[in-house]
């Protein structure tokens, strides 16, 4: 079952691979690749990999800013 996130406030405080998968609409393997990316703000708690909601939102905003293309006429 996938979670229905309507806003950032609906996201859990810490997100695991399943929450990332649901929030981004990506595969489970894609979520794990993201968690292992050195540029992604994942933390290790024992053998679990988590990302705090606030860090995820900042990362998402940064990715959006990087991908904006300005077309000048």
Region 33-60 average pLDDT = 96
Res 68 pLDDT > 80: no
- What pLDDT sits at residue 65? 80
Q: Where are the domains of the chain?
A: 12-67
Please state, in angstroms and rounded to a whole number, the distance separating the CA atoms of residues 6 and 35.
23
pLDDT per position as a tens digit, 3-34: 678 999 999 999 999 999 999 999 999 999 99
CATH of domain 12-67: 1.10.10
- What pLDDT sits at residue 4? 75
Buried b or exposed e, range 4-14, using 16+ CB within 10 angstroms: eeeeeeebbee
């Amino acid at each position: 079952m996938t979670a229905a996130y309507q806003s950032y406030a609906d996201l859990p405080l810490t997100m695991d691979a399943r929450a990332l998968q649901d929030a981004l609409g990506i595969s489970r393997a894609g979520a794990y690749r993201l968690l292992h990316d050195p540029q992604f703000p994942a933390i290790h708690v024992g053998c679990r990999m988590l990302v705090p909601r606030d860090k995820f939102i900042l990362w998402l905003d940064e990715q959006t800013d990087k991908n904006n293309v300005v077309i000048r006429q």
